[in-house]
Amino acid sequence: MQIEVFNDSQELATHTAKFIINTVKEKPTATFILTSGDTPVQSYKKIVELAQPEDFAQATFIGLDEWVGIPATSEGSCRYIVEENLLKPLGINTAQYTFFDSMTDDLQSECKRVDQLIFDKGGVDVILVGVGLNGHIGLNEPGTSFDLYSHVSKLADITISTGQKYFQQSTDLSQGITIGLKHLLEAKTAILIATGERKADIMREIVAQEPNINLPATVFKKHTNGQVWIDKAAASFLE
């Protein structure tokens, strides 16, 4: 696990954007797994600012997770956030990307569908994730095995309460459907980004602990190319 600290969230976003753009220039057919949430939006907007739409003409994009029972048109869905801030502004063809269908009656088949897409693409080139206040990655909550591919998860209370910020009104959240940590471990490059003082406590825990399923983000210590990019505020409790 390689840790790099940036002066602020904007500097981190620029670094992340340039890395993703350089990746697709080196490998036009690259496959990316992308997260939603507040932290990556700056990076997505910076990609739109710096990239040419043709740079991503052959790339594949996969959404990291979704809230079960929340439609893709909801402002709090992974698809909505990534589409509105990255894919649509870049003019990416809808045939180039997929997100979990969180409204399906067969969630297990949906997990298998996304897994098969990843396998068919020869694996993931870059997976970009944030980190929850309890150390979750995607919607892989504490206690989740590192050996799982895509799966359905029961959401922790802190994830449910924190997740309300993505919706304009109180929303019932109980389950997630998510890329598993085994996909992360098998990705060529795994990147964790975190910004702000609210993430300082959990970043200290991640750095201090050995890999263990009770703190999912420690999976980065098992990755051969795990990159942790944080700003000074998120790093404020690190030695």
Residues labelled as active-site residues: 65, 134, 136, 141
For the sheet containing 151-154, what is the strand order? 65-67, 175-178, 151-154
Give which of 140, 117, 164, 153 is closest to 217, Cα–Cα.
140
**Strand 97-98, strand 31-34: pairing:** unpaired
Classify residue 133 by burial, with Cβ atoms within 10 Å: 0-12, 13-18, 19+: middle
CA 23/CA 29 separation, integer angstroms: 10
Residues 18-51, buried b or exposed e (16+ Cβ, 10 A)?
ebbbebbeeeeebbbbbbbbebbbbbbebbbeeb
CA 177/CA 156 separation, integer angstroms: 13
Tokens of 141: 């909550």
9-26 helix and 39-50 helix, angle to the nearest 10 degrees: 50
Residue 125 phi, psi (nearest 5): -85, -45
Residue 135, by phi and psi: left (phi above 0), alpha (psi -120 to 50) or beta? left
